[in-house]
């Protein structure tokens, strides 16, 4: 079980799930509620045109037992960089691990 002290409502996270847990292997969102059973997160995307969170789509509950790893952005780190760059790259790397993503472009 993950240590809930590492997360707070409002933190941006990218959650890597155990295989065959959900349709996607990784979800990006904002922590809404944390309890002894898991995390309720609001799924979001980054709007490049507005340069901000593009809005919430739906909520996803993830039980602790189904979490393989998480990338966490605290209140001390820039949300923009996390959401527009780091979380998306991390999700792409996870998708590639499972053969579901496009190979990353080399710069």
Give the CA count within 13 Å in the CB-facing half-sphere of 48.
Answer: 3
Average pLDDT over residues 4-19: 90
Question: How much is the pLDDT for 105?
Answer: 46
Pick the CATH number of 4-97 from 1.10.10.10, 3.90.1170.40, 2.30.30.100, 3.20.20.70: 2.30.30.100
> Region 21-42: what's the mean pLDDT?
94
- Antiparallel, parallel or unpaired: β 38-47 and 52-63: antiparallel
Structural domain spans, the chain:
4-97
* pLDDT tens-digit map of 56-70: 679 999 999 999 999
Tokens 């080399």 found at: 106
């Amino acid at each position: 079980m993950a240590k809930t002290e590492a997360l707070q409502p409002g933190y941006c996270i990218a959650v890597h799930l155990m295989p065959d847990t959900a349709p996607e292997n990784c979800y990006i969102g904002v922590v809404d509620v944390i309890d002894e059973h898991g995390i309720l997160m609001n799924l979001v995307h980054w709007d490049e045109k507005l340069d901000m969170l593009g809005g919430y789509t739906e909520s996803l509950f993830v039980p602790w037992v189904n979490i393989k790893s998480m990338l966490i952005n605290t209140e001390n780190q820039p949300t923009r960089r996390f959401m527009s760059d780091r979380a998306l790259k991390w999700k792409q790397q996870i998708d590639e691990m499972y053969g579901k993503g496009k190979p990353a472009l080399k710069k």
